[in-house]
């Protein structure tokens, strides 16, 4: 079990300690506090130190104000800050602003307080004398162009007119508040910084390792944005390129990669770039011929052999190529033909995300020097994985079931073999039986998957933008069945034959109408005021609206049979049925 050093301390006790040599590591984010956060801190501290604006109501022996934890781990005699860097940075700037104000004050309390602050900001010699060339905090944040301003302000106490950083703004803010305080309470000026130093409490937590410190941070932190795996990976890249004298090149490339990832990947938690690293992990995993169905956590995978994978020249280039590929997918770039984009649109509605890993492995293995893929081979591959993933989800339901056939196939891709899923082909009678008895409820992902595949199986279906919001439409409306009980078999209401994808806005407008009335919403119409209400771009619904005046139970049954028959034929075309 990892050991932790936890000891509640005042700011003075923590900062004055000779072992307190803080480092904001390169993987941390830049300083982000603005005036609102600084004002809140100032108001809270002032209210604590001067209760009811009266310095005499403060109990210096018992009153305490808790500022929060500081999570660190010892790295080459430096306390590397995992949690608390924003708070720590701000406190340093606040103390430096107080120190500057005490410079010309010669009364005993002011001199004593000034000396206490100095020992908090600067390292001291064996006699306790501060060395103003040696700060107790340093920053290596790789993406922070303003960190030198921070260090300069701490050393000199001067903010130049051309300093525009958040550090400079924070320091000016505290200078202004301190001046206002000094004018209002000139006789009690030393009390405020003294009470900040001696009665404001921090909880330093020193862990044995970076990983332990990060886990503690994730557990404790319920307000700020925790460090993502990508922040740690960035630090490794930064060191690798810095050692080669290519720090500037790396920072430029990383920023571009980060900006691109932010645009194309979703991040329910962590960083959007975590998704990029996840997709790349499956490529490297396949190269290692790893067939295990248990997938390691992202950081655990990359930290092997001291992050050796991130210290290879080709890794960053591969990540850049992969991000560009997925950007082309998201923005439906003309790098791809229309038929490729149509298949990629269908895959957006896959019942799980495994397809993104298969496609990522395929791209990285088969891309040419321009980052392009062979059209015919890629089209074959996309058809194969659509047919397989859809059918496997029907026959073997379960979130993780697809790992078993997918991981070996990724290794086959690396070996240059054509994707066949030859050990996992389907029995036609089993598939037919599943299709006949499957309950295609709206809550099951495979329902939308089947409807997307069906819509684009129609060669007349035009390509839609990937940000098009499509919902499941009951062609025969649920409301009609509830009110009139028209369907003899109520199960036909939720049959796949009664469902289609429809643009969200049209779906809302058309939801409860009879088919005769739905037709105008499918086709589009002009309102009485002359406004145009656009119709659907789903070709099948347009054709239904043009060619039919009604949609009955027999139509539902016939359509369902046609969809199932066509899907079985699709499996045969993609050679996924046992002969």
Task: Using the predicted structure, report yes or no on whether residue 528 has a pLDDT greater than 50.
Answer: yes
- Residues 6 or more apart from 47 whose CB is under 8 A from it? none
Task: Using the predicted structure, report yes or no on whether residue 4 has a pLDDT greater than 70.
Answer: no
Q: What is the pLDDT of residue 103?
A: 80
Confidence band of 223 (pLDDT split at 50, 70, 90): very low
HEC sequence for 346-358: HHCCCCCCHHHHH
Q: How many angstroms separate the CA atoms of 139 and 239, rounded? A: 14
Give the highest mean pLDDT range of 57-61, 222-226, 445-449: 445-449
Give the highest mean pLDDT range of 6-10, 145-149, 197-201: 197-201
Q: How many angstroms separate the CA atoms of 222 and 219, rounded? A: 8
Confidence band of 247 (pLDDT split at 50, 70, 90): confident
Report domain extents, the chain: 4-220, 236-414, 445-573
Q: What is the pLDDT of residue 222?
A: 47
Closest CA to 207 of 80, 29, 17, 299: 80
For residues 175 and 20, the answer to whether their CB atoms sit within 8 Å is: no
Q: How many angstroms separate the CA atoms of 170 and 152, rounded? A: 14
Q: Helix %, strand %, coil % for the chain, to 5?
A: 60, 10, 30
> C-alpha 149: how far from its chain's center?
30
CB-based burial label for 297 (10 Å; 0-12, 13-18, 19+): exposed
Task: Using the predicted structure, report yes or no on whether residue 510 has a pLDDT greater than 70.
Answer: no
Task: Using the predicted structure, report yes or no on whether residue 408 has a pLDDT greater than 60.
Answer: yes
Return phi, psi of residue 265, to 5°.
-115, 145
Give the pairing type, strands 200-207 and 65-75.
Answer: parallel
567: DSSP letter: H
Confidence band of 170 (pLDDT split at 50, 70, 90): very high
Between CA 250 and CA 262, with CA 256 as vertex, the angle to 5 degrees is 130
- Residues 6 or more apart from 499 whose CB is under 8 A from it? 440, 447, 451, 472, 473, 474, 475
Neighbours of 4 (CB within 10 A): 14
DSSP H helical ranges for 103-161: 108-121, 147-156
Q: How many angstroms separate the CA atoms of 245 and 242, rounded? A: 5
Mean pLDDT computed over every residue of the chain: 90
Please list the residues that pair with 525 across neighbouring strands.
533
Q: What is the pLDDT of residue 77?
A: 85
Q: How many angstroms separate the CA atoms of 468 and 502, rounded? A: 10
């Amino acid at each position: 079990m990892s050991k932790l050093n936890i000891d509640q301390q005042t700011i003075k006790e923590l900062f004055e300690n000779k072992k307190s040599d803080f480092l904001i590591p390169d993987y941390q984010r830049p300083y982000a506090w603005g005036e609102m956060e600084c004002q809140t801190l100032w108001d809270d501290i002032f209210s604590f130190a001067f209760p009811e604006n009266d310095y005499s109501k403060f109990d210096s022996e018992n009153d305490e104000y808790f500022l929060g934890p500081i999570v660190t781990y010892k790295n080459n005699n430096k306390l590397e800050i995992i949690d608390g860097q924003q708070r720590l940075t701000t406190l340093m700037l606040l103390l430096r602003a107080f120190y500057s104000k005490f410079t010309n004050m010669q009364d005993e309390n002011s001199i004593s307080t000034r000396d206490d602050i100095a020992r908090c900001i600067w390292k001291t010699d064996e006699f306790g004398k501060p060395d103003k060339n040696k700060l107790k905090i340093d920053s290596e944040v790789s993406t922070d162009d303003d960190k030198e301003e921070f260090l300069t302000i701490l050393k000199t106490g001067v903010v130049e007119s051309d300093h525009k950083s958040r550090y400079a703004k924070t320091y000016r803010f505290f200078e202004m508040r301190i001046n206002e305080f000094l004018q209002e309470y000139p006789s009690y000026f030393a009390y405020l910084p003294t009470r900040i130093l001696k009665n404001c409490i921090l909880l330093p937590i020193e862990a044995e390792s970076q990983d332990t410190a990060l886990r503690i941070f994730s557990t404790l932190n319920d307000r700020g944005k925790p460090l993502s795996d990508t922040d740690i990976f960035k630090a490794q890249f930064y060191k690798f390129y810095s050692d080669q004298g290519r720090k500037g090149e790396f920072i430029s490339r990383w920023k571009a990669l980060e900006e691109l990832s932010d645009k194309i990947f979703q991040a329910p938690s962590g960083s959007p770039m975590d998704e990029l690293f996840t997709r790349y992990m499956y490529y490297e995993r396949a190269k290692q011929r790893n067939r295990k169905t248990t997938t390691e956590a992202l950081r655990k995978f990359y930290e092997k052999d001291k992050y050796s994978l991130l210290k290879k020249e080709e890794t960053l280039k591969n990540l850049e190529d992969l991000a560009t590929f997925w950007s082309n997918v998201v923005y439906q770039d003309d790098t791809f033909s229309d038929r490729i984009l149509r298949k990629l649109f269908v895959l957006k509605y896959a019942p799980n995300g495994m397809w993104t890993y298969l496609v990522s492995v395929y791209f990285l293995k088969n891309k040419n020097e321009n980052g392009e893929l062979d059209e015919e081979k890629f089209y074959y591959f996309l058809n194969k994985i659509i047919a397989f993933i859809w059918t496997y989800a029907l026959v073997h339901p379960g979130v993780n079931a697809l790992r078993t056939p997918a991981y070996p196939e990724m290794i086959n891709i690396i070996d240059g073999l054509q994707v066949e899923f030859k050990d996992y082909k389907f029995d036609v009678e089993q598939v037919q039986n599943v299709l006949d008895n499957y309950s295609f409820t709206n809550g099951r992902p495979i329902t939308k998957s089947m409807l997307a595949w069906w819509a684009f199986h129609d060669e007349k279906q035009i390509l839609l933008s990937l940000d098009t919001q499509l919902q499941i439409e009951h062609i025969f409306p649920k409301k009609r069945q509830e009110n009139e009980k028209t369907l003899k078999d109520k199960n036909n209401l939720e049959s796949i034959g009664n469902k289609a994808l429809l643009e969200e806005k049209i779906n809302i407008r058309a939801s409860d109408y009879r088919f005769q009335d739905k037709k105008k919403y499918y086709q589009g119409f002009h309102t009485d005021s002359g406004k145009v209400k656009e119709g659907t771009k789903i070709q099948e619904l347009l054709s239904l609206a043009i060619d039919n005046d009604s949609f009955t139970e027999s139509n539902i049954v016939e359509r369902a049979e046609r969809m199932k028959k066509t899907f079985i034929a699709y499996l045969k075309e993609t050679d996924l049925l046992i002969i």
